[in-house]
Amino acid sequence: MTTPDRWVRFESAQGPRQGYIEGETIVPIAGDMFGDWRPEADPVPLTGARLLAPVIPPTFYACGINYAGHWRTAAEEFGLDLDKSWPKYPEVGYRAQSAIIGPGDPIILPADVPPNVQVEGELAVVIGRRAKHVRPEDALDHVFGYTIGNDVSARGWQFSDRTFWRSKNADTFKPLGPWIRRGVDLDSLVTRVSVNGELRESFPTNRMIWSIADYIAAITRYITLIPGDVIIMGTDGHCPQLNPGDTVSIEIEGIGTLSNPVVAE
């Protein structure tokens, strides 16, 4: 058996299960994908399986502005001060477990959400090994793998509220998936954001202001990361608007594609 490089959570008759992808099947495991595990039940066909968010992070981190292109467009579009909005050191915010959905699940726009809900296509880093006081050069040893996050953002609320509670954490606003990919060459990744099949933005995924290693080192100076924690790394360029009836897809070449329909509450 080769080491599995794509890991999933999926709906089964016994509830959510973990497994890995082998050919056109999912092999369910016993144990914990981040620790001791073994193949358990018979493989199930990947086609027709309902994939869930591949991990539910105990703590869910989000990098703010972390790409030069998004820094410029966000400053223009939202009237931010260009100097003040440049990230002078790696800092994180939080997203909520409560907002997570899986691939294919609908993003539901609340009845009274102000216009201009936008997609933010992001690389999601999944921690695999406990980390505290980690040096940048050792940081990636603590990464289990990578998936895709959509940091759906209601811009009206984002600028009217004190925090990002409903702007970024309304129910269904945090799609994650479709799987966790291991053995990724970060520099080869390209992120592509499409709405209804039309490409709207693309960027080299790893061309960040602060690197994944920088963030892990900064966080773990004060905070312990544990297996399953997720860090979404920010987005670049313009963020297309989402409307009911749309389907939004975020492809990261080398990882996969996260697609979700958009519906009105």
Binding residues (CB under 8 A) for a second copy: these are: 58-59, 61, 64, 87, 91-94, 96-99, 110, 132, 161-163, 165-166, 169-171, 219, 221-226, 229
Closest CB to a second copy among residues 9, 166: 166
Pairing of β 100-101 and β 174-181: parallel
Residue nearer to a second copy on the CB measure, 4 or 90: 90
For the bound state, the minimum distance from the C-beta of residue 127 to a second copy, rounded and expressed in Å, comes to 11
Q: Name which of 142 and 166 has its Cβ closer to a second copy.
A: 166
Shortest Å, Cβ 95 to a second copy: 8
Residue 241, both tokens: 């608007």
Is 3 buried (19+), middle (13-18) or exposed (0-12) by CB count in 10 A?
Answer: exposed
Q: Cβ 6 to a second copy, closest distance in Å? A: 26
Closer to a second copy at the Cβ: 188 or 224? 224
Query: CB of 236: closest distance to a second copy in angstroms?
Result: 19
Cβ-based nearer residue to a second copy, 44 or 226? 226
Q: Report in angstroms how near the CB of residue 219 gets to a second copy at its nearest.
A: 8
- Please state the closest distance from residue 228 (CB atom) to a second copy, in A: 11
Distances (CA, A) of 78 to 75, 163, 173, 236: 6, 16, 20, 15
Q: Which is nearer to a second copy, 50 or 221 (CB)?
A: 221
Residue (20 or 71) nearer to a second copy, CB: 71
Find the shortest distance in angstroms from Cβ 46 to a second copy.
29
